[in-house]
Structure 1
Amino acid sequence: MAEKFAYEIVAPDRLLKEDQAETVLLPGDEGDFAVMAEHAPFMTTLRPGTIEIYDGDKVVESFEVGGGFAEVANNRLIVLTEERGEAEAE
């Protein structure tokens, strides 16, 4: 079992999700990227798209977002975004 890390997805008016995941796939402005446990610290912008939360190789939850920002530091991911709705898990 892969190591998990903490993540938060925050909209301007509320916390959308706070949990732990093995992998989170995000729609970066320069292309999609994945965050996993012990990822190097960084901050980037997001384009409109889908955030996918993985447990192993299975998507367990996804969120449609209208862009925003992502910060990774101290084994934690924080996403600030405009929510467009929750997508279906596969």
Structure 2
Amino acid sequence: MAESIRLEVVTPEKSVVSESAQIVVAPGSMGEFGVLTGHTPFLTTLKTGALKFKDESGRERFVFVSSGFAEALPDRVTVLAESAERRKDIDVQRAKSAVERSEKHLQSAGKDVDYLRAKAALLRAISRIQLAETR
């Protein structure tokens, strides 16, 4: 078995993941990055997307993350995300409703609509759906 690192994914509300992993691959704002045991320490921002990791048994796991920060150290990765949820916990119907709401807001652009906020909500919802429906 490969050496493992500790993965912690937390939001302001809760701890989403707290377990050992063989590898962690996250959506950094400058591109996707991977972390193995012994990685050089660094801190980076995250963009909305899928965080992937292999648990100690080698099974691939997925977590949706919406912006935040990741700190990589030789023995652990800590992700502080605005929001996060395991793939199995994603409510696809709720995400589809969010897509519809966001698209309506974007079509109303210029009518007291916060365009950037609506665009970010649309991206989050689409990312959740894509992750939930990928097997």
Q: TM-score range by the shorter chain?
A: 0.7 to 0.9
What corresponds to 2:31 in structure 1?
31
Does residue 64 (structure 1) correspond to residue 64 (structure 2)? The answer is: yes
Contact 1:27-1:51 at 8 Å conserved across structures: yes
What corresponds to 2:10 in structure 1?
10
Q: CA deviation at 1:58?
A: 4.5
Contact 2:16-2:86 at 8 Å conserved across structures: no
Aligned equivalents of 1:33, 1:26: Cα separation in 2: 6
TM-score by length of structure 2 reads 0.59
**What SS class does the counterpart of residue 34 from structure 2 fall into?**
strand
Bigger mean CA deviation after superposition, 78-87 or 38-47: 78-87
Aligned equivalents of 2:63, 2:27: Cα separation in 1: 11
Aligned Cα RMSD in Å? 2.0
Unaligned runs of 5+ in 1: none
What corresponds to 2:114 in structure 1?
none
Query: Residues 42 and 87 of structure 1: is their aligned pair in 2 closer, same or farther, counting only changes over 3 Å?
Result: same
Structure with the larger helix share: 2
User: In terms of Rg, which structure is larger?
Assistant: 2
Does residue 80 (structure 1) correspond to residue 80 (structure 2)? The answer is: yes
* Number of aligned residues: 89
| Shift >6 Å, 4+ stretches | none
Contact 1:9-1:18 at 8 Å conserved across structures: yes
Contact 1:63-1:83 at 8 Å conserved across structures: no
Structure with the larger strand share: 1
Structure with the larger RCO, 1 or 2 (CA within 8 Å, 6+ apart): 1
What corresponds to 1:52 in structure 2?
52
